[in-house]
Amino acid sequence: MALSVSPSLSFTQNFPRFVTSHSLPLSQCHPISFQTPPPKSIHYHPPRALREWQEYEEAVKKKDLATALRFLISIEKDNSDDSVEENGSLSTQSARSQIGDLGFFGGSVRDWGVLDTCLNADDMRLVGMAYEFLKAKGFLPNFGRFSSIVLDGARDIRPSVLKSSTGLEASKFSPKKWGLSGSSSVVLAGFLGGVSYLLQQGIDIRPQLAIILGLAFTDSIFLGGTCLAQISSYWPPYRRRILVHEAGHLLVAYLMGCPIRGVILDPIVAMQMGIQGQAGTQFWDENMNNEMAEGQLSGSTFDRYCMVLFAGTAAEALVYGDAEGGENDENLFRSISVLLQPPLSVAQMSNQARWSVLQSYNLLKWHRHAHRAAFKAMENGASLSVIIRKIEEAMSSNR
């Protein structure tokens, strides 16, 4: 199925989770392949190379993806040339087939640091090359491992099918307004009860309350609720739910083969980067980028995007039994659905949403250990490279 897209669609304005690349024409994009040395080869680097490794580490600190990736590719090329000179031919045994020794063959554990430079990258093709490089070295055996899942299963997902598959009503997957459900309703009830008690005691706080409500209104209109989100993020139960949500986005994007630029958990930083909502996981889909440039969008590419988009909601439902977040994800989904030609009807959008959330729910359920590993790493403030490593370790240990 091929879907045409309205020419007015702009991902940089409407879809901040999906990052597009504008540095070079798409016609210049070519698949990049990397040759790897035999897994057990040990290569000696002279003092000049040690100095270059220091430059690499400096590039990682500065989040200079282009410099860091250029160095890793040059080192890999030098190692490959050395192997040809010593053995007469380059071994065809790929490091990616040696999953047992995860992440420590054919290179250094320092190679992982290139992922931490992705957040500041403007050219998303470089981010894709970083993931492709590490996958070719055998560091990321599970990256894109389930990209074909979008072709599996029935397409017509009625609410009854969703309930029989997950044990949850369809309403449990719908984002909730703050103060109307879950822990936020307890906070709101406590606040209103406190105000009522003070008024009964003769303490008039109406002027202060008017100022607070005015500030909250201003925050919601001009800052998208960023200030309130920043304050709420310090409340442990609320922050844990955010981490569960974003870990769901990250894991599904990773397993579907979408390079992740970064995870932003600070609402103010998210606002500065143009991310709608209180936090965000930025990922890139090269197929979607290329297809959108041609004005066409295949069904499988749209499915993959929707799965990643609804993965946060699915993660909350899996862990807590219902979802509170994901309102901005739904808004993004509706935005692209109505821009398709022909646009999806309300019934089609509802079915697509249920199909996507069910696929993501099942994928997260099958790999709950990996989701928990990502959540724990994010909870500890780990960098993106550490989060990805924890996912790979969890996936490897549960085969």
| Banded pLDDT at 95 (limits 50, 70, 90) | very low
Question: pLDDT grade, residue 71 (50/70/90)?
Answer: confident
Is the pLDDT confidence value at 41 over 90? no
Question: Mean pLDDT in the chain?
Answer: 76
Whether the CB-CB separation of 250 and 388 falls below 8 Å is answered with no
**One domain for residues 173 and 189:** no
- pLDDT score for 217: 58
260: three-class secondary structure by DSSP: strand
pTM of this structure: 0.73
| Model confidence band, residue 40 (pLDDT cutoffs 50, 70, 90) | very low
User: What one-letter code names the amino acid at 372?
Assistant: R
Of 230, 258, 290, the domain-final residue: 230
Mean pLDDT, to the nearest integer, of 196-201? 70
The count of domains in the chain is 3
Lowest mean pLDDT, pick from 26-30, 65-69, 82-86, 106-110? 26-30
Please report whether residue 75 resides in a domain. Answer: no
Helix, coil or strand: residue 262: strand
Phi, psi of 64 (to 5 degrees): -100, 90
244 with 224, same domain? no
Q: Which domain holds residue 131?
A: 50-67+108-140
**Does 386 lie in the same domain as 251?**
yes
Could you tell me if 57 and 115 lie in one domain?
yes
Flag whether 98 is in a domain.
no
Residues 220 and 276 in one domain: no
Q: In this structure, what DSSP letter does residue 23 have?
A: S
Per-residue confidence band for 315, with pLDDT thresholds at 50, 70 and 90 = very high
Residues forming a β-bridge with 262: 282
Cβ atoms within 10 Å of 201's Cβ, excluding its own? 8
* 371 — pLDDT class (breaks 50, 70, 90): very high
Whether 194 and 331 share a structural domain: no
pLDDT value, residue 384: 95
Which backbone phi and psi does 259 adopt, to 5 degrees?
Answer: -55, 135
For the residues 326-346, what does the mean pLDDT come to? 89
Same domain assignment for residues 187 and 174: no
Check residue 86 and give its pLDDT. Answer: 42
Lowest mean pLDDT among 37-41, 125-129, 369-373: 37-41
pLDDT in tens, 272-283: 556 555 568 889
Residue 245 is assigned to a structural domain of this protein: yes
Using CB atoms within 10 A of its CB, is residue 361 exposed (0-12), middle (13-18) or buried (19+)? buried
Higher pLDDT, 199 or 287: 287
More confident site: 38 or 213: 213
**Of the candidates 161, 195, 230, which is a domain's last residue?**
230
Output the pLDDT for position 398: 76
